[in-house]
Chain A
Amino acid sequence: MHRRADWIVNAVALVTFCFLLFPFYWMIVSSLKGPGDLLSIPPSFVPARPSLHFYRQLFGALQLETFFRNSVVLAIGTAIITVVLASLGAYGVLAYRFAARTAAARLILFVYMFPPILVVIPLYLLLSRVKLINSHPGLLLTYVAFNLPVAIWVLRAYFSSIPWELVEAGEVDGLSRLDALRRIIVPLSLPGLAAAAIFAFIGAWNEFLFANTFLISEHLKTLSVIIVDFNTREGTLRGEILASSVVIAIPSFLFALFAQRYLVSGLTAGATKA
């Protein structure tokens, strides 16, 4: 009886995931069709004549490398700066006593609830005044600001799960609290740091609204923005748009396959009682 139930459940799971992941299959298959086959009615489920035409266009005429590079630089920069500042901040809240630290912690969560749309208009004016508009540093600053709350929360949960005795033992050995962070906490929290870094990377990589509003020069734009821009160009770039949506999803695919552990533990850190 158990065995039959097992079989049913596995079958259901397989079918469910086929449906769930079908859009990805469809996107990849569509991007591999040649320009003649893409708009056939009815569409074929397997490309009759697979072709890399649209990808070649992307990296040829459309020069996607520039935008790919922009996205990479911004995402990595965001990840590094966010994780460094967030670990400092999380540690500061946990390890030191000072007035208003719970208030600070709550404030950080409060910030999470600010709609980006609330902030984009005034931020545009403010960044223009300090000449940070249409620049990567300005956008980077924005990304760090919006990713810090999540990162601080994740890291705080991770740090708090480390037994305090280890720090105290270190203090006996003459380590200051700060040294303890570097020598003890960080090495033990690598999964948490990795998770925070990945979230920050993904947050910056996927972001659209701020990049779209703050970046005006074409050569500065990120992948998200340029793909949407393709829609407004004269003529049709349907196949190229589909191919570029595959390209922009590559880091996500890589993370899902190879960094699943960190993602999942990061998401659940603190969501269930630590």
Chain B
Amino acid sequence: MRPIIASVVILTLLLGLSPLLPRTAAQSMKLTLWSTLTQDERVAAMRKLIERFEKENAGTSVELVTMPWGGALDKMNAAILAGNAPDLSTVGQGWPQSLSGTGGIVPLDDVAQRLGPDKFVGTSLRVMGSLDGKVWSVPVYVTPHGFFYRKSWLAEKNVAPPKTWDEFYTAAVAMTDRKRNRYAWTIPFDIHGGKAVWAWLLSDGETIFVPKQGGGWALDFDNPRTTETYEFLKRIHLQAAPAGAPSYSQSEIEELFAKEVLGMYYETPGVLLTVKKMNPKILSDVGFFAVPPGKRRGSGQGWVGLVVYKTPRAELAKKFVEFMFRQDNLVEFTLSYPYYHFPAYQPVLTAKAYTDHVPPELLGVARGAPEILKWSAGISMWQGPNPWAGEIEAKMILPRTLAKILVNHMPVPQAVREADGELRALIQR
């Protein structure tokens, strides 16, 4: 009997004490990299880079930890708070600005200098990766956002690809045919919905934040532009979206587009991968257009960068970042997932090794990309990077407002006012 009790007590104690066992000296040369790029191809590409880095820098090792986008920013913030942050990680748009406020990441001005700040495409470094003049993140790739649509559906009704808001509405209504179970478009009502709503807001001249004289930001959300945009989105959804739209996630919408229930899809060329997988025969029928301009050009971009955390291994982590930007490494990495990875770094954009290997379906997108990438910016960052962009996206303020309008039948001005209240609470804390 006693041996049993003894062994159980010892076992329990061991469980509790195991993490306190002495660590080997090699720990100081071991980097932890959190990556939100979970697809096999990207993981394989990342591992290849890591192998090369470890070989070149004998004695170092890099542990790759992958996690999906959803909830990743929360995990990073929570890890900084709890004191167990990684050494570096990938980040989405708005995240570097958010994380910089925690004091948990280090500025990367020196890295940017060494890489050549002018070599970064458009807004990718100066806006998307910076805050208050400091560089917090270097971009590894950008993705142009736009509308992917079924050319034949519009051709059937003799409608041309839309170039204005009204033309978009006409096209959406033309595509919709309930009897044939055909609908035009819906935003995803999950964390990706903010990008779609922002594209239209931007197109209508709305920026959410405006810089104040003497520094700082003023909130400017509850205004006619915002109301007009949401009224427009409401009309589109009531006329041309499936009734179940408020429950759809982005992957469900991709599915519906591939299965010919939706005629349009907004965001990344990644949808072409889904179409290829589920219904390749329509691949040649998919066209591309940027968000029709209202008072200004719309459309957005995807953006992924790297940040370095404030750990004892920060200098080594910076070395890894620069290693990744070496020509061959970055070309290889970009080509590992070409539907999402458009180069943000000029030397890659012009490298023959890159241009020779871009898949043919992407040519339409590639043609429209430079324009889109030149001047679009992440959610709320059109006037420049601000500290709240990441949180606005994570809290889904923009798509939830549309959800309230559609699902709870809330009048548009009231929904906009409530969203304004949420944003105000955000920037006041």
For the complex, give the distance between the alpha carbons of A84 and B6 in Å.
Answer: 12
User: Given the complex of chains A and B, what is the CA–CA distance between A181 and B15 in angstroms?
Assistant: 25
Q: Does B69 contact A (CB under 8 A)?
A: yes
Contacts A41-B181, A141-B15, A236-B254; A124 near B1 (Cβ below 8 A): no
Q: Would A234 and B39 be within 8 Å (CB), given that A128-B84, A129-B82 are in contact?
A: yes
Residues from chain A with Cβ under 8 Å of B19 in the complex = 130-132, 135, 137
B74 to chain A, nearest CB (A): 10
Stretch of B90-98, B270-278, B355-363, B370-378 that contacts chain A: B270-278
Contacts of B71 in A (CB 8 A): 232
The answer to whether A140 touches B15, judged by C-beta atoms less than 8 angstroms apart, is yes
Minimum CB–CB distance for B138 against chain A, Å? 22
Q: Are B39 and A236 in contact (CB under 8 A)?
A: no
Q: How many angstroms between the C-alpha atoms of A35 and B278 in the bound complex?
A: 7
Q: Which residues of B contact A135 (CB under 8 A)?
A: 19
Query: Which A residues are CB-close (under 8 A) to B12?
Result: 81, 85
Contact indicator B78/A39 (Cβ below 8 Å) = no
Let me know if A235 and B8 touch, CB within 8 A.
no
**B222: shortest Cβ distance to chain A, in Å?**
32
Within 8 A of B (CB), among A33-90: 35, 39, 41, 61, 81, 84-85, 88
Contact indicator B254/A176 (Cβ below 8 Å): no
Residue of A whose beta carbon sits closest to that of B32:
A217
B255 interface neighbour in A39, A129, A178, Cβ under 8 Å: A39
| A117-143 contact mask (Cβ, 8 Å, vs B): 1 or 0 | 000000011001111111101001100
Check: B351 CB closer than 8 A to any chain A CB.
Answer: no
Does B65 contact A182, Cβ atoms closer than 8 Å? no
A181 touches B83 (CB 8 A): no
Residues of B close to A236: CB separation below 8 A: 251-252, 254-255, 258, 274, 278
Q: Which residues of A contact B428 (CB under 8 A)?
A: none
Q: Is A233 a contact of B2 with CB atoms below 8 Å?
A: no
- Knowing A39-B259, A179-B1, A234-B270, the reply to whether A133 touches B82 (Cβ < 8 A) is yes
Name the A residues within 8 Å of B38 (CB-CB): 218, 233
Please pick, from B40, B70, B84, B258, the residue contacting A131 in the complex, using a CB distance under 8 A: B84
List 19 extra interface pairs beyond A216-B34, A236-B255, CB under 8 A: A35-B278, A39-B278, A81-B12, A124-B78, A133-B82, A137-B16, A137-B18, A140-B15, A141-B16, A178-B1, A216-B65, A218-B65, A218-B67, A229-B68, A233-B68, A235-B254, A236-B258, A236-B274, A236-B278
Binding site for B on A (CB under 8 A): 35, 39, 41, 61, 81, 84-85, 88, 124-125, 128-135, 137, 140-141, 176, 178-179, 181-182, 216-218, 229, 231-238
Ranked 6 nearest A-B pairs via Cβ: A128-B82, A232-B70, A178-B1, A131-B19, A236-B251, A232-B68
